[in-house]
Chain A
């Protein structure tokens, strides 16, 4: 079932803009059924990297290899819709280029089926993100690319959203590549973390990363007030049903995955 061929592969990506190095020698792969999260501080080049991987921007050096006929479902960071443009959720979703899934189904998958006739301008932050996610699903993607999916969503909503993403991954067996600034909340739903600050500082399983000196140097001091919450998250994490999962185990992420698979069988 799992293909070993990566869906997306970046080789030695570098980006320079007016004598300034924005990205340096980035190597990265995303395979099917895998969630890869890029984290990093503001100005680390997360969005530039995502744009290069999506083909929206050309790197100065290096190349991006996509598996042939790769379908990408993309969820932009913000929609920035002009209020002068009347647009319902349904009309917005009908703008897809190769829609194969029905709009109702897509909205149901993200739990916002009641919003079909609502104006896009009247959605809350969480609803907007779910509608954007529905839109990405309409293309039945092999790879979901999510730019700060939890932007403008409150803390409870955030973990629900990441749970939903993890659930969609196991349902659709697609690869997921996302950008986030907050490791604590994404942790349970991520297989691999890439810590970016112009170059890749460290990468690997979220448990390893959260103890990595490079990560602590980047986020440890800045999030000093969150240390208590941080430790808590490190001790254990909750699955979708609120059961405590042991993530101190090195196979913690795997355990989580196995649990979900059992549930869906």
Chain B
């Protein structure tokens, strides 16, 4: 039982921890739609992996980097970055990805694994991949946290004080792409954004500084993973969606609680 569950648990907790700082940054910078677009279009990476018959995980990482570069270039054209256009891009790439994957698939992949994730089938190799890439992402965030926070507060202020805003923004998008790449197998492209933003949005009620918000977001993410896995084992529900439902339950609880506190 433990041997069966351990890889899933470690992978889930790893992703929840990495998602905490990035999820907070996405919420603060209002990049939820960019995150969604990045996640949905990674299905194109899966299709690419099938087409070129290379490792799917690697294909997702590479396509994520390419799409992150395109989106950063796109975001610089401020007049274009509207909700509508991002919505179109996000869902078109999802649709195109679905078509391409079903065309190129020769029984190698199960589409629902990539759409909804399959945490319970996590292998030791997956765990190694998540911990390896996750440590690199975590270290980079820690190293550049000051700059990431500064451009979040005010880009022109940061630029006047000598910070290379475009490079830091590119870094943020690349980190986001990599995080999505390592989380796909766990929650799937449809629900990754939820795992990034819901714990962060919940943590807002508990924190009075950006760092505390990240900390609480990590704790809530880990609790959601544990809760979701337990639910999945007890009632045989799909693991990824169970984790997301756990996270949103926590959000609703804190929302109601804070409304009650304010009413007193």
Q: Report which A residues bind B (CB closer than 8 A).
A: 51, 54-56, 72, 74, 76, 79-82, 84-88, 91-92, 95-98, 119, 135, 139, 145
Contacts and interface: CB of A to CB of B under 8 A. Distances in A.
B149 interface: yes
A54 to B, nearest CB: 5
B208 to A, nearest CB: 5
A49 to B, nearest CB: 14
A97 B159 CA distance: 11
Contacts of A54: 156, 159-160
B201 interface: yes
What are the 4 closest A-B residue pairs judged by CB atoms, nearest first? A74-B160, A97-B161, A85-B28, A86-B207
B157 interface: yes
Contacts of B209: 86-88, 91
B213 interface: yes
25 contacts: A54-B156, A55-B159, A72-B160, A74-B157, A74-B161, A76-B156, A81-B153, A82-B28, A82-B29, A84-B27, A84-B28, A84-B204, A85-B153, A86-B204, A86-B208, A86-B209, A86-B213, A87-B209, A91-B209, A92-B153, A95-B153, A97-B161, A97-B163, A98-B161, A145-B160
A81 to B, nearest CB: 7
B162 interface: yes
- The secondary structure that dominates the B interface is helix
A87 B149 CA distance: 11
Given A87-B209, A87-B210, A74 B156 contact: yes
A56 B156 CA distance: 7
B30 interface: yes
Interface string B151-184: 0111011011111000000000000000000000
Nearest to A74: B160
Contacts of B104: none
B154 A119 contact: no
B91 interface: no
- Point out which of B153, B160, B161 has the most chain A C-beta atoms below 10 A from its C-beta: B160
Given A87-B209, A88-B209, A119-B208, A55 B149 contact: no
Q: Choose among A86, A97, A119 the residue with the greatest number of B CB atoms under 10 Å from its CB.
A: A86
